[in-house]
């Protein structure tokens, strides 16, 4: 099964199995990554699923939308590879994806 590697805020790392046709946020949440709050349920309205995508995978994700960029602009921790995990559909091309959970604002 395809895999996502996630670095938690504690520095611990986990590898989780992901299904195609779900968002990265859903895969993280469904596999017990409690640091992904996803308060809005994936509607791109809260930014509680902020992650940093490893640069090697950044070009494989869809372009960032204006709404997503606006939410991320409110974060003190925004980086060039910041994304809302609810806005990244998990595809076979992302197998092995590496993300880091962003610090809380």
Tokens of 92: 């076979």
Please state, in angstroms and rounded to a whole number, the distance separating the CA atoms of residues 27 and 86.
10
- Number of domains comprising the chain: 1
Say if residue 6's pLDDT is above 80: yes
Please state, in angstroms and rounded to a whole number, the distance separating the CA atoms of residues 97 and 34.
18
How many CA atoms lie less than 13 Å away from 9 in the CB half-sphere?
12
Q: Which pLDDT tens digit goes with each residue over 28-66?
A: 999 999 999 999 999 999 999 999 999 999 999 999 999
Please state, in angstroms and rounded to a whole number, the distance separating the CA atoms of residues 41 and 87.
11
Please state, in angstroms and rounded to a whole number, the distance separating the CA atoms of residues 50 and 33.
13
Residue pair 9/103 in contact (Cβ under 8 Å)? The answer is yes
pTM: 0.94
CATH code, 57: 3.10.20.30
What is the residue range of 49's domain?
3-101
């Amino acid at each position: 099964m395809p895999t996502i590697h996630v670095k938690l805020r504690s520095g611990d790392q986990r590898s989780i199995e992901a299904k195609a046709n779900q968002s990265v946020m859903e895969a993280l949440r469904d596999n017990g990554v409690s640091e992904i709050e996803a308060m809005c349920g994936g509607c791109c309205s809260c930014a509680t699923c902020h992650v940093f995508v490893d640069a090697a995978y950044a070009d494989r994700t869809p372009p960032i939308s204006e709404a997503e960029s606006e939410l991320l602009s409110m974060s003190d921790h925004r980086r060039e590879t910041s994304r809302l995990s609810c806005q990244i559909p998990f595809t076979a091309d992302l197998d092995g994806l590496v993300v880091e959970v962003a610090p809380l604002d």
